[in-house]
Structure formats: structure tokens, C-alpha cells
Amino acid sequence: MAFLASFRLAISRRVSTRRWRRLAVAGTAIAVAGLAMTGAARAEALLLVEADTGKVLQADNATYPWYPASLTKLMTAYVTLSNIHQGRITPDTLLTVSPTAMAQAPAKMGFKAGTQVTVDNALKMMLVKSANDMAVVLAEGVGGSIDGFSAQMNATAQRLGMTQTSYVNPNGLPADGQITSARDLAILTRAIIRDFPDYESYFHIPAIKFGRRVTANYNKLIGRYPGADGMKTGFICASGFNLVATATRNNKRLIAVVLGASSSSQRAVKAAQLLERGFHGNKLAWLRPSLGLVNMLQPIDAAPPNLRDDICGPKRKRPAAEDEDDEDVEVNADNGEGGVAAYAAGLQAPTMKASELLAGAAAPAQPVIVYTGPTRTGADVLAADAAESARQDAARPVGKKKKGAGRAKLATAKSDADKPDAKSDAKPAAKPAANAKPTAAAAKPASAAKPVAAAKPSAKPVAATPAKPKPAAKDAKSTAKPADQKS
């Protein structure tokens, strides 16, 4: 009996050893795959968090330092709303555009120094158009100066637990020391939702209208992704395309952070995929340990990656811009799952094409009218809008295509008054070409003795005239879209 027991024990140990060896090999494969995925994904950071609890549902490079670009404006909005809450200013407070604000790089409203705008309108312009000049107007009006306001931004970041963040300016234009992380951005977004529920409408305005100029929200999920209700996009060459997106379904609100995407379409698709996994559950979640709360994620001590060569280098087909319209792309729906995703590749969700998310126009929505000067209500808002439209019409050179025409992405963006202008600008020299044939035909009866000789001279100038409008059409097309390269 003793011999039989010893034999069984030996067999058991041998089987167990083999099993552990197989598990060790599998574990090594998972680890190697995870390292490979981490290296490949170093150019981007992804984070998915529950807004109410702060529970982390997915984190990839979430604590890696990053250039925030215009996601900086989320903190600018938070500090401004804090000052409103404390009674230091009101949404109706008038602020003045300074020469410093006027000199900011695009995207911007482009107001002259001395122009006055309310806090309310400045916030709308900053959050929808990502206007860098309006961010400075708010900073100088609330903090006295850019440095004074930046000090408030940094103090707020420390109070909220954003330990990886430092601010130098209020708009996110390139500056040494302007750094954050996906972790810190999720913490800030939760604070905005928690502390200022009465002002949430600022973060999901579909479009703004300033006279003839209509600007759709750069966040492509607004009006397209079911439940999307915020928040902000950002782009500079060094950071790539960034997005903080929020969405709510069945009383559950999620926060998705995407940093370093290669295009505006890809950041929207990646955010949508993160949100989809959060709302519908992840079949692989049980294979991974709990990631804890967002504020518990451990920061990484490193320099932020500089993506300038990849995003704005010569290999790119066209210049990168915040408001670009990209061709359809495919993004792996399980991108960032690390070694577990590589090991269980058979369970990956299907890829999502950008065309499925962005093919159609955003849901019809009336753009919010913004204006300069003191607060107006009711008919006075419409009067101010009509006056600004008339001023823009008067200032536009005769025959020049409206600046920004073709960029409006909402069905309601163009008024009836815009349509005749667009047609007259599109084909300024089409009529002479249409009249060419009747002219040539009329030449024939004019000299019956030499019909052939008479027809040839008149045919040559007629054939030469339609060639002139073509370069003009290209010039109009090239000036139709402003160079909003940074926001």
C-alpha cells in the first residue's frame, strides 16, 4: 500500500510539473506579447473610467506623461467656472480682448484688441471652436494675467490630485512644462461633472454661429454617437490628436481618454470603441485583475513622447489639422488589451470602421449664436447676429468665396442667404463659356462667301476663354479653409 501511495504521489508531481511548465510557457508568451503591445502602443494612451465611481475599466499608458494641447482648455473652463461659483465673476461679466490675446495662433475668433465679450460667450467659443484667443481673454480677465491664471490652474490641479500635470498657458499651445496624462485628465473630467452640473451644456454644444460663420464641434461623437455628452478635443503636432469624450446610457456615464491618435477620425473611433466596451461589457475582463480607481494609478516618471515626425512629418499625405476630414480608417477594437488580448485573439471584437461612425452628418441641431458686446436676450440676440452677418458681408471682397465655406458640418449650418453667394462664387466665369457656341454659330451666316475661314478665327478665342476660370476655382478652394493647424 505504501508503495502504491508513493507511486501515485510521484505521478501526481510529474503531471503537476508538466502542467506548471505549460502554464509558465503560456505566461511567458503572454508577457512577451504584452511587452510587444506596450511598445507598439507607446505612441498613444487610452483610458476608460466610470464617471461616478472613478473605477478604471481599461488603462493603456494612462500614466505616461503627455502634451495636453487644447485639452488644457478643460482646466481653463474649470477655473473660470470656479470663479463664477465663488461670485468673483458672472457669465455676464464683460472681458476685453488684449493685444496678447489677439496675437494667439489659430484656431481663434480673430477679434481686434479692445473688443469686448462676455464670459459666457468666451466659454462657448473656447470649448466649441477651441479658440486660443478666447482662452487668453478668460485667463487675463479672471486671473489678471496668463501667469496669474496659470498659477490658479496649477493650484487647482494639485488640489484635485492631478500629480502629473503642470500648466504654463490657458490654451495648450506648445510650451515647455505644459504636461499632463490620461489619468489626470480623467480626474479633471470627473471633477467638472461633479462640481459644475449646472454648466454641463457648455461641453456638448453641437455648433456655434457668429454671423455667417458656423463652426461645428470638433468632437465628432457629438450628434453621432448615442449618448455622447462631452467634452473636448486637442491637437498639436507633438501630442497627436487627443480627445476626452463622455457618454451616458441608462444612468451610467463613462469617460474615455484618447491621446496620440494619428487623425481626428481615429481619435473619435477609438473613443467610441472604449465607450462601447464600457457600456456592453468586456468578455475578457474576468481574465484581468481589477485596475482599481483612477487616482490610484501609479504615475510613470518619463518625458512625454514627441509625435511631430509621425503626425506632421513629410510622410503624411496632407497637413494635419484639428478640423481635418480623414478618409475611412480601421482600428482594432481590442487595441490596448495587451498580452491577454494577444493570447485570446479568438475572442476579439470586430473592428469598427470610421465610416460607420462618421459617414453621416451629425444629428440636426440649431447652432448656438455667439456675439460680442454685453449680454443680450430674445430678439436682441437675433438682431446682433443679423448685424454681424451684414458686417461680414460688407467686409468680404466682391467675388471672394466665404471663408470657411464647406467646413460647416450641420444641416442647419447654412442659412438661405448663404446659398446664392455660394453659387455665384462657385462658377464666376461659367456663362461666357456657355455662350461660346451661339457666337460661333452666328459667325457662319455673317459671311456666306467664306464660312470656313470665318468660323476658325471666332472659334479660337471662344476656346481660350473657358480656360481662365479654372485657376480661379482652385484659388477659391484653397482659401475656403483657414489654417487652423493648432488648437
* Annotated catalytic residue 265: no
14: left (phi over 0), alpha (psi -120 to 50) or beta: alpha
Catalytic residue among 98, 108, 129, 130: 130
Q: Which amino acid is at 365?
A: A
Cα 381 → chain centroid: 28
Q: Which amino acid is at 384?
A: A
Helix (H) or strand (E) holding 310: helix 308-312
Distance CA(485)–CA(319), nearest Å, equals 8
Measured from the Cβ of residue 159, the count of other Cβ atoms closer than 10 Å reads 9
Q: Is the peptide bond before 107 cis (omega within 30 degrees of 0)?
A: yes
* Annotated catalytic residue 70: yes
Q: Which amino acid is at 168?
A: V
**Nearest one of 128, 124, 155, 152 to 140, comparing CA atoms:** 152
- Supply 347's cell numbers: 475572442
Task: Tell me the pairing of strands 240-249 and 207-210.
Answer: unpaired
Helix (H) or strand (E) holding 262: none
Burial of 314 (0-12, 13-18, 19+ CB in 10 A): exposed
**Nearest one of 331, 302, 323 to 66, comparing CA atoms:** 302
For 323, residues 6+ apart whose C-beta sits below 8 A from its C-beta are 107, 218, 264, 407, 484
Would you name the residues annotated as active-site residues? Answer: 70, 73, 130
